[in-house]
Structure 1
Amino acid sequence: MKRLLALFAMLMLAACGLKPMYAGGASGTVAQGLAGIEVSPIEGKAGWLVRNSLVDRLGAAGPGTARYRLDVRLDDRLEGLGLLSDDTIARERRTLRARYQLVDLTTGEIVLDATAGSDAGIDVVSSEYATIAAEQTALENLSREVSDRIVTRISVFLRSGAKGQ
């Protein structure tokens, strides 16, 4: 009975039309599209971290082979949240937001205009060094998360664009 139920579930899943995002591996439509994206320089330390993460995830194309250009503007904020009775900050929130545009290099048209963001809470401790280290670690983690969200959104765009072509 369990085997029959499992077989039925597999048949239903196959009939739903779901397809793997990266079907075809490195020669698939999405992987080729991601490899054809050139990432513009991004200002600041957060920009450097996000750009490096994007280049790593996209499998950056060599010079002259890019079909798209990715332009990213970041908003990095660090704000105090919790106040103790002696008016010192006990907690901070670091927020990293990105507005990004995917530009088709052949036409100059913006084919995707979207935003991504994430935030992290940081405990402020008596050691200034530990607090600064926590702020930097939060920035590194947020940079990776924002770049992951950007790549995922671009992958969905490339996959849906490939269906229309």
Structure 2
Amino acid sequence: MKRLLVATLALGALTGLAGCSNVRPLYGSVALPGGAAPVNERMRYVDVALMEGRVGQKIRNELEFGLSHGGETPKPLYRLDIRYTDNSTPVGVEKQTNIPAGYLVTLNASYALTDIATGKTLTYGNSFANAAYDATNQRFANVRAARDAENRAATVIAQDIRTKIAVFLATHGS
């Protein structure tokens, strides 16, 4: 009886692993099935459109570096358009001063990846990020804390969009 249980568990484990034959690293350097270039190479061909505002520029810079790894970008095949909104909400109030004790910065972004040659939208989606900061009675400290929170949220947005673009490129051959 014990042998049967062990054999059944072993067979179940092997059956579960059989479905993993197509698992590969997302950012691996091996060519994809069908001869498509590796995802890291294909991401270099994404041109991130200009964005307005300091936060928009931070998102764009993070994406530019994340997609090309700081290297030179060849002639782009894809264009990535991003629109974002930001909001800062007080999240607590000091009892004696009736002044907010902290804020929550929220960024919402929508993106679309377009094939430059055809003008066809290949994929699109949304991303969001929150970052909190404490408020003090020092104005410069509050400005700096708000900017740091915006930077943290912008980095999260850029990383999320980069991952979504990488998944799209990995699952859709060239």
Secondary structure in 1 matching 2:172: helix
Native 8 Å contact 1:22 1:28 kept in 2? no
How many residues get paired? 153
Instruction: Quote the Cα distance in structure 1 between the aligned partners of 2:55 and 2:17.
Output: 41
Q: Residue 54 of structure 2 is aligned with which of 45, 53, 56?
A: 45
Q: CA RMSD in A?
A: 2.3
Q: Deviations over 1:91-115 (max 9, x none)?
A: 1000111100000111101111101
Partner amino acid for 1:57? G
Q: State TM-score, norm by structure 1.
A: 0.83
Q: CA deviation at 1:16?
A: 1.3
Instruction: Quote the Cα distance in structure 2 between the aligned partners of 1:138 and 1:70.
Output: 24
Q: State TM-score, norm by structure 2.
A: 0.79
Q: Which runs of 4+ in 1 moved over 3 A?
A: 12-15, 25-28
Higher alpha-carbon Rg: 2
Native 8 Å contact 1:94 1:139 kept in 2? yes
Secondary structure in 2 matching 1:16: helix
Q: Residue 54 of structure 1 is aligned with which of 63, 66, 69?
A: 63
39-48 or 81-90, which deviates more: 81-90
Q: Which residue number in structure 1 is paired with residue 83 of structure 2?
A: 73
Native 8 Å contact 1:80 1:89 kept in 2? yes
Q: Residue 131 of structure 2 is aligned with which of 120, 135, 145?
A: 120
52-61 or 99-108, which deviates more: 52-61
Secondary structure in 2 matching 1:66: coil
Native 8 Å contact 1:53 1:144 kept in 2? yes
Q: Deviations over 1:42-71 (max 9, x none)?
A: 111101101111110111623xx1110000
Q: Deviations over 1:12-39 (max 9, x none)?
A: 7586131111222699421122011011
Aligned 1:144-163 pairs, distance under 5 A: 144-162=155-173
Partner amino acid for 2:20? C
Q: Does 1:35 align with 2:44?
A: yes
Native 8 Å contact 1:39 1:71 kept in 2? yes
Q: CA deviation at 1:84?
A: 2.1
Instruction: Quote the Cα distance in structure 1 between the aligned partners of 2:131 and 2:29.
Output: 36
Instruction: Quote the Cα distance in structure 2 between the aligned partners of 1:77 and 1:69.
Output: 27
Instruction: Quote the Cα distance in structure 1 between the aligned partners of 2:18 and 2:157.
Output: 32
